[in-house]
Amino acid sequence: MKNYDVIVVGAGSVGVPSAMALAEKKLKVLVLEELPSPGQGNNKKAIGGIRATHSDFGKIHVCQRSIEIFSTWEEKHGDDLGWLSNGYSYPAYDEKDEKKLKDLMDIQRSFGLDIRWVSADDYSELVPGITGDGLRGATYSPGDGSASPLKAANAFSFRARSLGAEFRFNEKVTGLLFDESHVVAVSTDNGVYGCGSLVNASGNRAAEIGKMARMDLPVKPDMHEGGITEPVKRFFGPMVVDMRPGPLSANYYFYQNKEGQVVFCITPEPQLWGTDNDSTSVFFPQVSRRMVELYPRLANLRVRRAWRGQYPMTPDGFPILGTGREVPNLIHAVGMCGQGFMLGPGVGELVSRMVTGETTPDDRKVLEDFDPYRDFSGTEAFK
């Protein structure tokens, strides 16, 4: 049996950057993934948005670090991740949404976010041609951005490998071996591997891996669909998030990526639980009608493809990040609620500090927000 300092379960949005950060600390790392290559689960189904514009310290702090990693990666390491500092925007079309957004700005600014309120006229310059009828203005956070999930997964995994991390693909974790309260080995359908620490970054399988570790993790995947258009000349700036509900949907959002393609997604309401990856006939009519009503300039774009993936959800919409009381050398980094791509690099570095016992006061504050043993009775104010 080969032994490792750390075994990471899952080579996705959280597992790959965690492996990279652990390898940077010169630890012997093994990543176990049941799929054939990095980022082939929900990571490749992410639309690529990366924002620190959240409503709590934990997500804001972690995503600020993620943005720093994404935005400086090409300069530091030479890989083009498709990073674009295009910003995020939340337009308001009624007094209630305007008040909610402005109230949240006070919280967001207290955590160091660069976010501002822009008038309807100024917003129409950021998004030329946006429907002006009833537009009251928008929040705008210029430091947010976007990147390619596939390019990022490849770049992070190549760096992790260059630092000595090992990846074993097409291997499904089937069980954990214990010495009293500590996990000492991981069994797969192809072998057994010893470990000093274990990181559960298994995405949709979070609850299943949790049960192997004697813990009930309240993570349940729900299904979302996304789409992408042909590339065209850039004609608007930030990600546009329309918070208003519609028939069988909550918010929806879209942006133009570095290649000029418009990428879009909608939030079903009620939630659709499951792991079905087949696209539906409902998605296009539902989202396109709403997008064109808000932004008529989108009407003539040709859609290239659509896909379906999952958001591994927790009851309160916040991630689970912390050590299991039942198994003290196991770290759970799961339940990213559809935000694993933007949280991943920051979470990965925090995971590495947890393993080495180097957490900072800010880390410990983040871990309070993401505590696996919280009561999950709250709700995220800014989805």
| SS3 of residue 168 by DSSP | strand
According to the model, what pLDDT value does residue 324 have?
87
Second CATH level (architecture) for the domain 85-144+221-313? 2-Layer Sandwich (3.30)
- CA-to-CA distance for 257 and 303, rounded, in angstroms? 14
Closest CA to 187 of 172, 208, 202, 203: 172
Which run of H or of E encompasses 167?
Answer: strand 166-168
Q: Which residues pair with 301 in a beta bridge?
A: none
- State the Rg of the chain over Cα: 21
Residue-wise pLDDT tens digits, 333-382: 999 999 999 999 999 999 999 999 999 999 999 999 999 999 998 777 66
Q: Summarize pLDDT for 231-283 with one digit per residue, the tens.
A: 999 999 999 999 999 999 999 999 999 999 999 999 999 999 999 999 999 99
pLDDT tens digits for range 134-188: 999 999 999 999 999 999 999 999 999 999 999 999 999 999 999 999 999 999 9
User: Hey, is 123 helix, strand or coil?
Assistant: helix
Q: Which residues contact 271 (CB under 8 A, 6 or more apart)?
A: 222, 313
**Three-state DSSP class for 73?**
helix
Among residues 41, 16, 48, the alpha carbon closest in space to that of 30 is found at 16
Share of the chain above pLDDT 90, in %: 96
Q: Give CA–CA dist 138/105, Å, rounded.
A: 11
Classified as helix, coil or strand, 138 is strand
Q: Which of 351, 41, 334 is nearest to 201 (CA)?
A: 334
pLDDT tens digits, one per residue of 55-86: 999 999 999 999 999 999 999 999 999 999 99
Residue ranges per domain, the chain?
2-65+149-217+316-369, 85-144+221-313
**Helix, strand or coil, per DSSP, at residue 274:** coil
Dist CA 334 CA 203 (whole Å)? 6
What pLDDT digit, counting tens, does each position of 310-332 carry?
Answer: 999 999 999 999 998 989 999 99
Cβ pair 302, 232 in contact under 8 A: no
Specify the fold of 2-65+149-217+316-369.
FAD/NAD(P)-binding domain (3.50.50)
Q: What is the pTM of this model?
A: 0.96
